[in-house]
Amino acid sequence: MPTDDEVVATASEAAEGMIFSRYKRSAVRDLDITVGFEDGILDIDIYLNPPDDADPDPEAVVEEAIQAAESAVDELFADE
């Protein structure tokens, strides 16, 4: 069974990886990924301040990042 810290780290890394696969690191003005895992409930909050000419749509990228984080955590538990 993964620890809470492992779940949080896995989700954070997956979300960050997804965002930076869509935008250059240097183009992102601010990014804050907050992940909590308590009593089996995963909570993910992402604040993204993208470049002015952001393409793809920042809201879509945030949704993809959340989905990536959830999938990574699902895989973490499936591997146990």
Successive 10-residue mean pLDDT values, the chain, 80 residues = 95 98 93 96 96 88 98 91
For residue 30, the SS3 value is strand
80 and 7 Cβ atoms separated by less than 8 Å: no
The pLDDT assigned to 55 comes to 87
The pLDDT assigned to 51 comes to 81
Domain at 4-79, CATH homologous superfamily: MTH677-like (3.30.300.100)
- Rounded to two decimals, the pTM is 0.92
